[in-house]
Structure 1
């Protein structure tokens, strides 16, 4: 086919476009590419074809559109062909066990991008190789996929979702046979297999045939029943739940969560939460919010607050669009709403889950087999609770892929993993899902709220009680937006060569630095051989500074967004209740970090939008 690009002198681009038009059977994406060719829009074509989406431990996440740099039907087929080949090499019994595929409600009409269609194409690829596929017949929360992998002993799981990303994005999230997200070296092996299987197989486009195949099964009803039966085991106060008069509002932010959270509350014998009508049903346009991410705080919760005020509800729960995260807000006596940070909610849920476990355990030695986890950029509050209560606490690298895999290792040794969390409002309240789960977290939070209401205690009052007993842990996190990799690299290289080659800063303004850990290079000044214990990765930037005043600050790049994130926490000793002083000390520390560590490149960074 003549693409009309031969005159540009870019043979590589010309070849990429030719191959695309040869492979692509989606009329919308093929037409978009042909239109760009006719217009001679070389820059646009380069954006679509210069580099393939990189398959990593988080799978894929990108805008929907034409070309190898976007999520579309052809790239879904190519990705699944590679993943299928890799699974065939990894499992002798793949044809007996099979895989599960779930999807959210995202759609992108201009390019024909659609999560359900993507999931059907992925199913067609596996069925063409005679591999059983458990394809959900309807949208599900992301946690249903890892639950299904574990519950049905499958080889792998795929969830088609971009979680809380902007509406034009979609993603492809992968789980291994252990029910956790993949970690290295699987990502590299899958990426290699994708590159070796780019030409669509004869039956990969044939979704009609695949959907009629006896190899295709719908696990929706069984998993729906089993999931809620499983999380019911974490309900400890049915009588209180029935009698508590507390009113709760829930929003699914135009995502999949509404019916599943309603079912979770029913499983816990809780009064159903009031649903935010305008955001209750899935809508890929996300019309009422700028960003469909409850982590962004009050802007996403405006309609929830209005409904709560109308119904005289005291608490708001919010899921992100694929319902694997949970945000919580509570109305204060002042009439203002407090949106809890991910760390504060982690403290509350960790305290609650351990308290419930403790009440039903008579064996004093059992606590020695109890574990809790959090990511290294999250609050150290669980560590403080563990020190006092006698259970084990571990920190992992950022992301639930690390916590999920580590939890599985701990469970396989016959131990108990009660809880894991990350500050980005992700909570694993049950080891039956080795990933963050906003549905079970919503029900367990609902029960905690109901229990506290019978004691005339609010969430914020309980949080203060936790801090007084285990030590205040105040955190302040934010980010800068940066699209220039050279700027990001120069910022981190400056920190590694602060006062000469291979020298980290020893102070930041008036704050003295006691220790440095660099998980990009593998350096840790706290270790005898200066080698970090946690895994390192040169493909991402991450440095942690521990300060003499009990402060901890981590700077890192995001794996899915053009951001430099910073996380700070001030950990005080139990009994220290001078919150005003602690807050000022943390504010001063954050200001010093921004001034001393970000200043040289600050004019090239965009601050977090208000």
Structure 2
């Protein structure tokens, strides 16, 4: 092999490999590709060179390694060049306002890839174009990036993280100038700009020089101070917090959350939670868990339960590795641990946020200006609370990108948005972060737990009280995987023209009557007068087809991927 030429027998593949070896300056990924070529590993080469990672509204997320389908130095540079170009075309004052870049602690030694290096290369790209960059000098939780965009009035934000994905993955999450995740058409515009800017710009590889640039600023100390000041506005029971004897355990699951949750508890005058020693420090290998995802429940929380038993703690809080989500478990009178679902925590936090808001607002008309949000696949407990208490509830498509952008629109109209959640244990308890935030949610939950303890109450008891007051909302989510698109299509067509019905959806599921059907692949919603869905619809692919069937006493979510 000379001058980057290859002989795999596939012309397109040879061209892709040749361009890679021409552009890449990371000796580890260059060597990995050369070894694959030398070994004649055509299938392995096709896997990493046949298709580029797709940039969508969630940005990028993929395994770290060589090639255009993986996260590595070169694809980070190419992605950032496209994003930078798109911002230059979209916003006039990019060079005055700048961007913020944060990162977690993920690393992949074989390819030399890690979140800090990816963030530095992204910074180098922007600085090469004269754009000021606020690059955090240390790891931060994901919520710090959207907070910084809003706090400093920046044009955009990038967070290098794969959240709770397996250890080999990394990601590139993008926020727009409004402080919320990007939505269409920005994703398509950025994706097009990436394809048009694949060749590295002259200074894009110069991360070391960029770190010395006067255009580079470190927002860490300022943001750390201002973030905790901002969330302190949601602390309403400082005296209770100081005197509370409730013992709480916290785990960051080898991620970034430990330091920041400790600081959040301090900001609320709460006693610091006991930290799970084996999991409190960042470790990209995630050695004590199979998957670093608190949604997995008891398997991820085993060490937390053990510590709680030793210390006499009754509640466990858990963040995912980038600390934007929160799981909670509580010890029951039986001695067993109850891990609350995302919908159950949404009910508890929604109740608590409204109760605290009501305490601070004596004007009876103020409630008409109040909003709460949740995603369409989440429990509708907030709607029930809103109907009884007089505030507004809205649902959005799945994902905090939709809730964050809708919250921004409402805030810009002078409305108050006090809470938003999705069933995948994501909670926005403060509009200072227009995304899910596991750090503020942990402190606010800590205060709620302390308050309930003064009433000799528990989270489980309060959840029952919420249901008794506003109606029981019980959910059981599950899924099955099918890779055959013909089978997927036939399954959904059968639902839309169910046997025994007149070209209609089923009216019963077992012994339950179905009270409503929404199908966002066809735009059908039986709850609407004209049967047309209010939420956006998409029929682009069978793989994304989604039906939301609400039964009279149970919520059944059918998701086919």
Q: TM-score range by the shorter chain?
A: over 0.9
How do residues 11-30 of structure 1 correspond to structure 2 at under 5 angstroms?
Answer: 11-30=11-30
**Is contact 1:347–1:381 with CA below 8 Å preserved after alignment?**
yes
- The answer as to 2:445 corresponding to 1:442 is no
Indicate the SS of the match to 2:478.
Answer: strand
CA RMSD of aligned residues (A): 1.6
Matched with 1:543 is 547
- The answer as to 2:558 corresponding to 1:555 is yes
**Is contact 1:176–1:182 with CA below 8 Å preserved after alignment?**
yes
Evaluate the alpha carbon distance shift between residue 132 and residue 2 of structure 1 in structure 2; reply closer, same or farther with a 3 A threshold: closer
- The answer as to 2:470 corresponding to 1:467 is no
Matched with 1:520 is 521
**Is contact 1:3–1:14 with CA below 8 Å preserved after alignment?**
no
Alpha-carbon distance in structure 2 between the residues aligned to 1:110 and 1:393? 48
Matched with 1:276 is 276
**Is contact 2:4–2:22 with CA below 8 Å preserved after alignment?**
no
Alpha-carbon distance in structure 2 between the residues aligned to 1:197 and 1:43? 27
Evaluate the alpha carbon distance shift between residue 115 and residue 485 of structure 1 in structure 2; reply closer, same or farther with a 3 A threshold: farther
Matched with 2:505 is 504
Matched with 2:491 is 491
Alpha-carbon distance in structure 1 between the residues aligned to 2:130 and 2:497? 55
How do residues 341-356 of structure 1 correspond to structure 2 at under 5 angstroms?
Answer: 341-356=341-356
Matched with 1:378 is 378
Indicate the SS of the match to 1:318.
Answer: strand
How do residues 41-60 of structure 1 correspond to structure 2 at under 5 angstroms?
Answer: 41-60=41-60
**Is contact 1:257–1:319 with CA below 8 Å preserved after alignment?**
yes
Alpha-carbon distance in structure 1 between the residues aligned to 2:397 and 2:27? 42
Matched with 2:164 is 164
Alpha-carbon distance in structure 2 between the residues aligned to 1:83 and 1:460? 46
Matched with 2:64 is 64
Evaluate the alpha carbon distance shift between residue 4 and residue 78 of structure 1 in structure 2; reply closer, same or farther with a 3 A threshold: closer
Tell me how far 1:480 sits from its aligned partner: 2.5
Tell me how far 1:515 sits from its aligned partner: 3.2
Cα deviations across residues 175-230 of structure 1 (Å, max 9, x unaligned)? 00000000100000000000111111110000011101000000000000000011
**Is contact 2:476–2:556 with CA below 8 Å preserved after alignment?**
no
**Is contact 2:475–2:554 with CA below 8 Å preserved after alignment?**
no
How do residues 79-90 of structure 1 correspond to structure 2 at under 5 angstroms?
Answer: 79-90=79-90
**Is contact 1:4–1:37 with CA below 8 Å preserved after alignment?**
no
Alpha-carbon distance in structure 2 between the residues aligned to 1:479 and 1:142? 28
How do residues 280-359 of structure 1 correspond to structure 2 at under 5 angstroms?
Answer: 280-359=280-359
Evaluate the alpha carbon distance shift between residue 49 and residue 267 of structure 1 in structure 2; reply closer, same or farther with a 3 A threshold: same
**Is contact 1:149–1:179 with CA below 8 Å preserved after alignment?**
yes
Evaluate the alpha carbon distance shift between residue 372 and residue 123 of structure 1 in structure 2; reply closer, same or farther with a 3 A threshold: same
Alpha-carbon distance in structure 1 between the residues aligned to 2:458 and 2:384? 22
Tell me how far 1:543 sits from its aligned partner: 1.1
More displaced 10-residue stretch of structure 1: 435-444 or 512-521: 512-521
Tell me how far 1:535 sits from its aligned partner: 1.1
Evaluate the alpha carbon distance shift between residue 311 and residue 51 of structure 1 in structure 2; reply closer, same or farther with a 3 A threshold: same
Matched with 1:248 is 248
With structure 2 as the length reference, what TM-score do the two structures score?
0.96
Indicate the SS of the match to 1:451.
Answer: helix
**Is contact 1:4–1:38 with CA below 8 Å preserved after alignment?**
no
Tell me how far 1:541 sits from its aligned partner: 1.6
How do residues 355-374 of structure 1 correspond to structure 2 at under 5 angstroms?
Answer: 355-374=355-374
Indicate the SS of the match to 1:474.
Answer: coil
Indicate the SS of the match to 1:246.
Answer: coil
Indicate the SS of the match to 2:211.
Answer: helix
With structure 1 as the length reference, what TM-score do the two structures score?
0.89
**Is contact 2:86–2:190 with CA below 8 Å preserved after alignment?**
yes
Cα deviations across residues 236-265 of structure 1 (Å, max 9, x unaligned)? 001100111000000000000000000000
Cα deviations across residues 245-286 of structure 1 (Å, max 9, x unaligned)? 000000000000000000000000000000000000000000
Matched with 1:197 is 197
Indicate the SS of the match to 2:322.
Answer: coil
- Residues paired across the two proteins, number: 556
- The answer as to 2:233 corresponding to 1:258 is no
Cα deviations across residues 570-594 of structure 1 (Å, max 9, x unaligned)? xxxxxxxxxxxxxxxxxxxxxxxxx
Tell me how far 1:310 sits from its aligned partner: 0.2
Gaps of 5+ in 2: none
Evaluate the alpha carbon distance shift between residue 54 and residue 7 of structure 1 in structure 2; reply closer, same or farther with a 3 A threshold: closer
Cα deviations across residues 95-129 of structure 1 (Å, max 9, x unaligned)? 00000000000001111110000000000000000
**Is contact 1:77–1:121 with CA below 8 Å preserved after alignment?**
yes
Alpha-carbon distance in structure 1 between the residues aligned to 2:484 and 2:315? 41
- The answer as to 2:403 corresponding to 1:403 is yes
**Is contact 2:373–2:420 with CA below 8 Å preserved after alignment?**
yes
Alpha-carbon distance in structure 2 between the residues aligned to 1:95 and 1:487? 51
Matched with 1:92 is 92
Evaluate the alpha carbon distance shift between residue 132 and residue 484 of structure 1 in structure 2; reply closer, same or farther with a 3 A threshold: farther
Tell me how far 1:490 sits from its aligned partner: 4.5
Indicate the SS of the match to 1:204.
Answer: coil
Cα deviations across residues 52-93 of structure 1 (Å, max 9, x unaligned)? 111000000011111111111111001000000100011000
Tell me how far 1:545 sits from its aligned partner: 1.7
More displaced 10-residue stretch of structure 1: 493-502 or 136-145: 493-502
**Is contact 1:5–1:40 with CA below 8 Å preserved after alignment?**
no
More displaced 10-residue stretch of structure 1: 278-287 or 538-547: 538-547
